[in-house]
Structure 1
Amino acid sequence: MKTLWAILIIVTLMLQARLWAGEGSFAQVWSLEEAVAEQRAENDQLAARNERLYAEVRNLRNEQGAVEERARMNLGLIREDETFFLVVEN
């Protein structure tokens, strides 16, 4: 009877060791869940950035005024009948 109890205790300890330290253990599952949560957060940020870029592309494709506005602001584009004034602050 003592041998049976000893075997049961050894088997239980081996299963517990695998549960806490082996492959598929609680520690590994927790680290994987953490990695998945971090990746989802990064994916959400990238999806929001992509949506902003898609909206900007749609705006540029549909409206000619958006292209002109962008050229004026970023490239300093002026028309032939316009006068350009550059204000320099000290």
Structure 2
Amino acid sequence: MVNRVVCITLLVLLAGIHAQLWLGNGSVAYVQDLHQQIQEQYAANTLEKSENDRLQSEVNDLKDGLATVEEKARYELGMVKPNEIYIQVYKH
């Protein structure tokens, strides 16, 4: 009789552990989903880091020299220096 109680108790505990393993918050599927989310976040972080590096480089260029400022003013704002003639060529 005692052997049966011990066996049943052990089987119930084993079933509880397996239920947690397959269905609970720390289940195999849940952990795999978290790993997938981590990989996606690493990829997004890599893209954002490269964009941040590009922007930091542009900020450094703007701080260090006027050539970049002048280039941006010419292309983005249409700056023309005194005594310069602006010529625009359209290609069809």
Q: TM-score, normalised by structure 2?
A: 0.86
Percent of paired sites with the same residue: 32
Determine if the alignment matches structure 1 residue 25 to structure 2 residue 4: no
Number of aligned residue pairs: give it: 90
Determine if the alignment matches structure 1 residue 35 to structure 2 residue 37: yes
For 1:23, give the aligned amino acid.
Answer: N
Partner of 1:60: 62
C-alpha deviations, 1:35-56, integer Å up to 9, x for none? 1111111111101100000000
- CA RMSD of superposed structures (Å): 1.4
Look up the SS of the partner of 2:26 in the other structure: coil
For 1:46, give the aligned amino acid.
Answer: E
C-alpha deviations, 1:14-40, integer Å up to 9, x for none? 211111111211111111111111111
